[in-house]
Amino acid sequence: MRSLSCALVVFAVLAASEVRAAGGEPIRIGQVLPVTGEAAEAGRYHKYGAELAIEQVNKSGGIKGRKIELVQEDDKTTNPGAVAALQRLLEDKDMPAVIGSIRSTQVQAMLPTVKEAGIPFMIGGTNYGLTHQGNPWVFRFRPHDGFSAKVIARFAVEELNLKKVAVIHSTDAFGSGGRDMVVKALGELKAQPVLVQGFNNGEKDFTAILTALRQSGADGLITYFTFSTDNGIFAKQLKQLGIKATWIGSPAIVAIDGRKLAGDAALYIRDFSPEEIARLMLQLATSPDVRRSLIRAGHRRVKKFTWRETSRKTAELYENIIEHPVEVSLFQRSMFWNFMRGIRRPAGNSPN
């Protein structure tokens, strides 16, 4: 869904601005994504999401009557691969924009090339610094880790009432950035972590880290894993060592390939499996205790939501975005308002 929403916004921006492709030919949009390497499983969803967005736009008549054509390049889940993929796309001088990676490490590696090329670059990487380096060509379509870290920390401390929290993270741009933000958020809640430990991507043996985790006495665990394969291996070894801690993780914790590796170390509902749905329905039909528990929880939950409150919060959100835009340069803000007003940016304008 991230790739789909990102792609749709790219096309909306292009519809409100000049595009550099000539005549009535298709508008070629670039996409850098992992087709091979550690993140290939996730890359399939980036590919499908972008292609679905293009299909929707083209069925609606394209952009100013012109169809969209997606040009995809494999970043091989490596920094050199990402830079090389971007450079191949930039050989097309008529390409008006590029959809980048959702992985902060690869995005960080591509940023100097993006700035030099002066081409709009849409990213999903969450490292805080990616959009705070003075590069006006970078547009992020996910909250940065400063937001998610605060939510994770508050949930751990205020909702779960965890007393001793450990932080385990990958040492790349994503993991280190997440670590910095969540440690800061925990500190603001007077809940300094009892352990902060990093690991290199592709780690196969987490014994040393898990031993330190056990010795720390942590009752809660916050993780920032870049790759879900690492996440799955970690989960298996965590269970094998019998460590009991409430675990809150970054998105890799629920990725499909990580689930496969985790096996029975984690419990998931497979939404698209008829057998799983049947099993859960049977459990609900035959277990009065489960039904009563869910009904009570549902009644408690529903009291927190009303149409009036939803309307108020929605209006408040939009007002806050308009009055206090986050991560938006003056150039980007101008582009946003031009789009909202349906005003075309004059050709030749530059952010400088």
When pLDDT is cut at 50, 70 and 90, the band that residue 109 belongs to is very high
Instruction: Decide if pLDDT at 329 tops 50.
Output: no
When pLDDT is cut at 50, 70 and 90, the band that residue 351 belongs to is very low
The pLDDT value given to residue 127: 87
The pLDDT value given to residue 342: 46
Per domain, the residue ranges of the chain are: 2-142, 145-267, 269-322
- pTM, rounded to two decimals: 0.61
> Rounded to whole angstroms, what are the CA distances from 339 to 14, 69, 321?
9, 22, 16
Token reading at 26: 């298709």
Query: What percentage of the chain carries pLDDT values higher than 90?
Result: 37
When pLDDT is cut at 50, 70 and 90, the band that residue 31 belongs to is very high
Provide the mean pLDDT of the chain.
79
Give 178 or 299, the one with higher predicted confidence.
178
The pLDDT value given to residue 295: 65
Instruction: Decide if pLDDT at 339 tops 50.
Output: no
Contact, 187 vs 196, CB < 8 A? no
The pLDDT value given to residue 348: 42
When pLDDT is cut at 50, 70 and 90, the band that residue 325 belongs to is low
Do 2-142 and 145-267 fold alike per CATH? yes
User: What are 208-265's pLDDT values in tens digits?
Assistant: 999 999 999 999 999 998 887 888 888 889 888 888 888 888 766 666 555 555 554 4
Instruction: Decide if pLDDT at 66 tops 70.
Output: yes
When pLDDT is cut at 50, 70 and 90, the band that residue 10 belongs to is low
Contact, 126 vs 174, CB < 8 A? yes
Contact, 86 vs 137, CB < 8 A? no
Quote the CA–CA distance of 147 and 185 in Å, as a whole number: 10
User: What are 287-300's pLDDT values in tens digits?
Assistant: 787 667 656 665 66
When pLDDT is cut at 50, 70 and 90, the band that residue 195 belongs to is very high
User: What are 111-133's pLDDT values in tens digits?
Assistant: 999 999 999 999 988 888 899 88
Quote the CA–CA distance of 323 and 328 in Å, as a whole number: 12
The pLDDT value given to residue 22: 43
The pLDDT value given to residue 271: 52
Which class is 145-267 in CATH?
alpha beta
The pLDDT value given to residue 350: 40
Give the neighbor-by-neighbor strand order of the sheet with 98-99. Answer: 68-74, 27-33, 98-99, 121-123, 138-140
Assigned CATH topology for domain 2-142: Rossmann fold (3.40.50)
The pLDDT value given to residue 179: 94
When pLDDT is cut at 50, 70 and 90, the band that residue 286 belongs to is confident
For the segment 298-318, the average pLDDT, to the nearest whole number, is: 64
User: What are 146-157's pLDDT values in tens digits?
Assistant: 888 888 999 899
Instruction: Decide if pLDDT at 57 tops 80.
Output: yes
When pLDDT is cut at 50, 70 and 90, the band that residue 301 belongs to is low
The lowest-confidence range among 125-139, 161-175, 274-288, 324-338 is 324-338
When pLDDT is cut at 50, 70 and 90, the band that residue 23 belongs to is very low
For the segment 309-338, the average pLDDT, to the nearest whole number, is: 58
DSSP 126-193: --GGGGSSS-TTEEE-S--HHHHHHHHHHIIIIIS--SSEEEEEESSHHHHHHHHHHHHHHHHTT---
The pLDDT value given to residue 280: 65
